[in-house]
Structure 1
Amino acid sequence: MSIKDVLGTIVGDKPVVLELDVARGVLVAKPTTPAQALQLINSASMAALRDHLAAAAEDPRVLGLVVHSVPSQLQLAHVEELAGIVEAFDEKKPTMAWAESFGELVGGLAAYRLATATRDIWVQPTGMLSIGGVELSITLLKGMLTKVGLEPQFGQRHEYKTAADTYAADHVTDANREMMQRIGQSLVDALVGDIARRRGIPAEQVWEGVNSAPVAPERALELGLIDHVGYRDEAYAAALDAWGARPEQLLFAHRYTSKAALAKRLRPGQPKIGLVTLRGAIVTGRGQRSPLGGEQAGADVVDEHLRAALRDDDIKAVVFDVDSPGGSAVASDFIHRSVSRLREAGKPVVARMGAVAASGGYYVSMGSDEIVAHAATLTGSIGVLGGKVVTQGLYDKLGLIRETLPFGAGASLMSDASPFSDDEWERLNTWLDRVYRDFTTLAAQDRRMDYEHLEQLARGRVWTGADAKERGLVDHVGGRTLAVERACALADVDRKRAKVVHVGDSGILALIKPATSSEAAAGTAGLPDAEGLLSDLAGRAGLRSDGVLSLPWQLRVR
């Protein structure tokens, strides 16, 4: 049987209408736990949607796309990515979105933003548009820690590196409030701008909807925020009738495969764009994956994958996909060196930032030829912190006797048994100054900025991707598609001929796949022991920092 016959058997020739059901979940990365692997049975992955919808837009058999857009676990930057994928499809084929409701009094702005990527929006008569903006919160833990006998002692570089505030401040500082206010305003400004652009209405009209939310369907029609009020069956009937299709022609977008895409996979001799991923807290060594869903990016593993891309002559450029709140300064610098080696060898590197690429996440990205971030990406946080929580007061409250015996003048520096002495504060501050100086000096060199200018953008401050672009900390606002396009352009490779290949296996098989040497891109992170599980739980409760180059707080914007 010929390749043409095989393709015809797999794909078929009947017209189809594609569906994207956000309610079933969308995975933004390869599964790393059995639970995530099972989820893929009925859920789409971002990678599949990106590839399949791009191919479907060129396929005459595909009649259109229906999107069920509801509030989900996706972070705002991932919603941006998905909206961009749908918008690209919409440029060539008809699209429609429907929702029972864009939230019920809370949490519908991101779902509504995704719906605006389509041409036609339906909401059922009893639904609403809960598009009232974004709320951020600041929580300080010092009062609680003090009550149980714990004394937080932290140093920070500089005033915006507010992880130290989280533990050690007894009030919200002006710098902390200023940073959070700007992040929130930037996020909502970007959403309103995108919605106005897609709906073809003035931004003031969108702001009216935001400021008067929840908006009833009838009022949403008047403002031009939606197109129709009706139930699912009415929305589907209208779309299918307009596109000349029937219900039996519906197919989930992630189940679709085009002949062109399959043929491209079988085509030999294609130039490759390597995709290297970094997800989770950056640590030295190999890192761990927790059954609870926590993930660490082991510097050894990321370096192995970057070295594998360096050795592969068919890989002409690399997209470095970073989604990390940072972590270890040493581990971040180790990875930064690996990126530099690729560039020195003539292989362009484009960093693509996900929901967050801040502090250490920015450190590993800043040495790339170019950086692509979403408008809602949290990035920057060029700063450093360090300290400890002294537990002696808790021991006293519990009636426990503890005596520590240090051997060496610096043995007690990071001990939780005693507070910092004057000499130890001096040691800690000297070290924090050194790390901050190294970070900012290297950032200024990588971003080709005057040091004084870069340092004013640093000081531990977190920026959105939109604000980072305006200030020169990133180069482009967009997603992985744009990152691949930029990598191809820098490597002088025809994007239509290029094949994107994952370097190293970051999925479940990596847990059991044996490595032959430290030069092999296999045998990645392992499962944690009991101590690792407890550490993961502490991190979820906000009681752990993964290193001196960590994001000041955990922030999930949906």
Structure 2
Amino acid sequence: MKRFLIGSLAFIGAMSVLFVVGLIGLLVLASASGPTVPSNLVLELDLEDPLPEYVLSNSLSGAFGEEPTTVHDVVDALEKAGDDPRVKSLVARVGNPGSPAAAQEIRDAVKAFRAKGKKAVAYADTFGEQDNTTVGYYVASAFDEVYIQPSGDLNITGLTFETPFARDAFAKLGVTPRYHKRAEYKNAVNTYTEQGYNAPHREATERFTQSLFGQVVRGIAEDRKLTEDTVRGLIDRAPLFGQEAVDAKLVDGLRYRDEVMGTVKKDAGPGAELLYVHKYLERAGRPHTSGDTIALVYGVGGVSRGKSQSSPLGGEQVMGGDSVAAALRKAAEDPHVKAIIFRVNSPGGSYVASDTVRREVQRARDAGKPVIVTMGTYAASGGYFVAMDADRIVAQPGTLTGSIGVYAGKFVTQAFWEKLGVNFETISAGRNATMNSSDADFTPEQEARAEAELDFIYKDFTTRAAAGRKMPLDKLQGLARGRVWTGEDALANGLVDALGGYPKALALAKELAKLPSDAPVHVEVYPRKKATSEVLSELLGQKGDNSEDDAASVSAQAPFSALMKSVDAVYSLGARMGLFEHQRASLYSPMPRASWE
């Protein structure tokens, strides 16, 4: 009996081993037989909606469908495809690619793809139908050919920035904005304290509008082989009907989608297949996957203390100082990392959190790891603060940056509540205990402390910026004062070092790491992308293995995104009216509302 049991157990064990081996074999076979890249391929790209800059490592979007294609995905895919003989061409539906800086990143990638002998065709059902699509067409003009369907039009009417001013509305409500700022161009609070553009606000806004508009006009003129005066004249005539756009040489023909697709597939040769860019990237792999390691760290969203945040299903992102600092720290401590590329796309936020990130940039450099910042749509105020100590700063011409300044304050709502018949009474201990309260104005002593805080932060910001940019302090202060610049003007003023995007940052990383320009490198994102199981564990409250792992993680909010957005909208309105708390000193530069789609 004993022998029988032992024999049975041995048989079961052997069968278990065979089962595991067989299962592994099936998995390997399944992996090997997965989708491959067709031998004759036309890449397809959807630019109907803006591309996100980055998907945080806590996102569950991949578990409920495909993750969104990011700006960097497009750059990587087109770089890979440019050297892939299976890829014959690119066809893209273009609508609203986002900001001018995002448009320039995509345009650069398309042009690099074409420079390798590959054809690129853009189409749209219409560039407009009541919407301004100037920047959308700006992207399309970088392609070899541009088509719209016969019923479409070309609504390239220029660029518009709209800024609401609500001082009188607040007065009617009985709400008093009590804000202080450094300096005169720091216009974040003007929405509350002014009823129109003051002189510095108008000057800065007109300058960066004209800078952006000039970039768009030059790009279209160059790509469509027209003069800048001609392009400006066509923009002033717009919207243009379809045949008018063809006659003006802005569009190559009036074709429906099926006609465009049929032609590009025919031109690619027999058996040509279409494959979306993100699918191609999954199957073909990214470029830069072997050789010395270059770390890529993202800092996306408003800067806040603590962890980076995002709804796990998507939505607005917050650049958590702890998370980004930990990612920079890990990259700096990794002996395999030769340099760090830091992608910043942020309008700023917390002074303290910005300084937390800046410190790790400084420490990485002290450890011998070059840091190269590449700026996205904006890297302003706190977004510039985190970047200013890098070895090199790269911006797109259309990046909005600078805004070296600070503001702080609160809304005094006592009269508002009196109108509603609500009376707040306060009992406090400590002379300045009510300093952050919205129920009472600042006392003279509190006002003096608030002004002193801004003086300290502004001096710190400008002093550090001058040191980081190796610029005399008085010159830096002349460029600061809270003023926003385009990347084009920032380069002329010495606030950035070069114009470009990811490829330019990578070239500088190799140079500063003393690697040959043609050396293969492995670009690795820090921190690594989390598995779905890890994200679910975090949602359930599980922490990392140690403080470093925990700091490098992100905060996964409850997956009720629609509800969260509604609650957040109500809270934001209340916060702006001072119903919750005093707003501490902020390195923040809210971008004006733009009509450039």
Asked if these proteins are the same fold (TM beyond 0.5), I'd say yes
Distance 2:571 2:350 in 1: 17
The CA deviation string for residues 482-538 of structure 1, in whole angstroms up to 9 with x for no partner, is 112211111122454101101114667557454122222643224279999855654
1:178-197 aligned at under 5 Å gives the runs: 178-197=203-222
For the residue of structure 2 that corresponds to 1:11, the secondary structure is coil
CA-CA distance at 1:34 after TM superposition: 6.0
The match for 1:515 is 544
Q: Could you tell me whether the CA contact under 8 Å between 1:510 and 1:524 is conserved in 2?
A: no
The match for 1:284 is 305
Summarize the Cα distance change of 1:472–1:7 in structure 2 as closer, same or farther, 3 Å threshold: farther
Summarize the Cα distance change of 1:408–1:190 in structure 2 as closer, same or farther, 3 Å threshold: same
The match for 2:416 is 394
547-556 or 27-36, which deviates more = 27-36
The CA deviation string for residues 42-95 of structure 1, in whole angstroms up to 9 with x for no partner, is 8533232222221111111111111111235x2332222122211111112011
Distance 1:371 1:264 in 2: 21
Distance 2:320 2:130 in 1: 41
Summarize the Cα distance change of 1:171–1:229 in structure 2 as closer, same or farther, 3 Å threshold: closer
Q: Could you tell me whether the CA contact under 8 Å between 2:379 and 2:399 is conserved in 1?
A: yes
The match for 2:557 is 527
Distance 1:433 1:519 in 2: 34
Q: Could you tell me whether the CA contact under 8 Å between 1:386 and 1:548 is conserved in 2?
A: yes
For the residue of structure 2 that corresponds to 1:117, the secondary structure is coil
Q: Could you tell me whether the CA contact under 8 Å between 1:282 and 1:546 is conserved in 2?
A: no
Q: What letter corresponds to residue 156 of structure 1 in structure 2?
A: K
CA-CA distance at 1:38 after TM superposition: 6.9
Q: Do residues 224 (structure 1) and 255 (structure 2) align?
A: no
Summarize the Cα distance change of 1:262–1:145 in structure 2 as closer, same or farther, 3 Å threshold: closer
Q: What letter corresponds to residue 274 of structure 1 in structure 2?
A: A
Q: Do residues 548 (structure 1) and 586 (structure 2) align?
A: yes
CA-CA distance at 1:395 after TM superposition: 1.6
Distance 1:479 1:66 in 2: 22
The match for 1:173 is 198
Distance 1:385 1:467 in 2: 24
Q: Could you tell me whether the CA contact under 8 Å between 1:7 and 1:259 is conserved in 2?
A: no
CA-CA distance at 1:212 after TM superposition: 0.8
474-483 or 349-358, which deviates more = 474-483
Q: Do residues 88 (structure 1) and 117 (structure 2) align?
A: no
Aligned with 1:254 (options 278, 288, 305): 278
Q: Could you tell me whether the CA contact under 8 Å between 2:303 and 2:350 is conserved in 1?
A: yes
Q: What letter corresponds to residue 76 of structure 1 in structure 2?
A: P
The match for 2:343 is 321
CA-CA distance at 1:259 after TM superposition: 8.3
Q: Do residues 349 (structure 1) and 346 (structure 2) align?
A: no
CA-CA distance at 1:245 after TM superposition: 4.4
1:292-441 aligned at under 5 Å gives the runs: 293-441=315-463
Summarize the Cα distance change of 1:221–1:422 in structure 2 as closer, same or farther, 3 Å threshold: same
Distance 1:239 1:351 in 2: 38
Aligned with 2:265 (options 227, 235, 240): 240
Aligned with 2:41 (options 10, 13, 16): 16
Q: What letter corresponds to residue 491 of structure 2 in structure 1?
A: K
For the residue of structure 2 that corresponds to 1:27, the secondary structure is coil
Q: Do residues 76 (structure 1) and 114 (structure 2) align?
A: no
For the residue of structure 2 that corresponds to 1:208, the secondary structure is helix
Say how many residue pairs are matched: 551
For the residue of structure 1 that corresponds to 2:375, the secondary structure is strand
Q: Could you tell me whether the CA contact under 8 Å between 1:511 and 1:523 is conserved in 2?
A: no
CA-CA distance at 1:27 after TM superposition: 3.3
For the residue of structure 2 that corresponds to 1:136, the secondary structure is strand
CA-CA distance at 1:257 after TM superposition: 4.5
30-39 or 421-430, which deviates more = 30-39
The match for 2:16 is none
The CA deviation string for residues 261-306 of structure 1, in whole angstroms up to 9 with x for no partner, is 47974x5xx2111111111111222254347823222211111111
For the residue of structure 2 that corresponds to 1:274, the secondary structure is strand
Summarize the Cα distance change of 1:41–1:6 in structure 2 as closer, same or farther, 3 Å threshold: closer
Q: What letter corresponds to residue 464 of structure 2 in structure 1?
A: L
Distance 1:324 1:130 in 2: 29
Summarize the Cα distance change of 1:133–1:337 in structure 2 as closer, same or farther, 3 Å threshold: same
Summarize the Cα distance change of 1:125–1:151 in structure 2 as closer, same or farther, 3 Å threshold: same
CA-CA distance at 1:379 after TM superposition: 0.8
For the residue of structure 2 that corresponds to 1:277, the secondary structure is strand
For the residue of structure 2 that corresponds to 1:59, the secondary structure is coil
Percentage identity across paired residues of the two chains = 34
Q: What letter corresponds to residue 214 of structure 2 in structure 1?
A: D
Summarize the Cα distance change of 1:433–1:532 in structure 2 as closer, same or farther, 3 Å threshold: farther
- TM-score, normalised to structure 1, is 0.91
| RMSD, matched Cα | 2.9
Distance 1:496 1:261 in 2: 18
For the residue of structure 2 that corresponds to 1:51, the secondary structure is helix
CA-CA distance at 1:260 after TM superposition: 7.3
Q: Could you tell me whether the CA contact under 8 Å between 1:150 and 1:392 is conserved in 2?
A: yes
The CA deviation string for residues 381-411 of structure 1, in whole angstroms up to 9 with x for no partner, is 1001111001111221111121112311221
For the residue of structure 2 that corresponds to 1:500, the secondary structure is strand
- TM-score, normalised to structure 2, is 0.85
Distance 1:531 1:415 in 2: 26
Distance 1:263 1:180 in 2: 39
Aligned with 2:53 (options 28, 41, 45): 28
Distance 2:195 2:141 in 1: 42
Distance 2:446 2:309 in 1: 31
For the residue of structure 2 that corresponds to 1:256, the secondary structure is helix
Summarize the Cα distance change of 1:526–1:24 in structure 2 as closer, same or farther, 3 Å threshold: closer
Distance 1:540 1:372 in 2: 35
489-498 or 378-387, which deviates more = 489-498
Q: Which runs of 5+ in 2 are unaligned?
A: 1-24, 578-582
1:142-221 aligned at under 5 Å gives the runs: 142-221=167-246
CA-CA distance at 1:210 after TM superposition: 1.0
358-367 or 368-377, which deviates more = 368-377
CA-CA distance at 1:179 after TM superposition: 1.2
1:81-160 aligned at under 5 Å gives the runs: 81-92=105-116, 93-160=118-185
Q: Do residues 49 (structure 1) and 74 (structure 2) align?
A: yes
For the residue of structure 1 that corresponds to 2:213, the secondary structure is helix
Summarize the Cα distance change of 1:444–1:223 in structure 2 as closer, same or farther, 3 Å threshold: same
CA-CA distance at 1:256 after TM superposition: 1.2
Distance 2:570 2:127 in 1: 32
For the residue of structure 1 that corresponds to 2:165, the secondary structure is coil
Distance 2:181 2:203 in 1: 17
Summarize the Cα distance change of 1:293–1:10 in structure 2 as closer, same or farther, 3 Å threshold: closer
Q: Could you tell me whether the CA contact under 8 Å between 2:58 and 2:554 is conserved in 1?
A: no
Distance 1:434 1:305 in 2: 29
Q: Could you tell me whether the CA contact under 8 Å between 1:33 and 1:293 is conserved in 2?
A: no
Q: What letter corresponds to residue 29 of structure 1 in structure 2?
A: Y
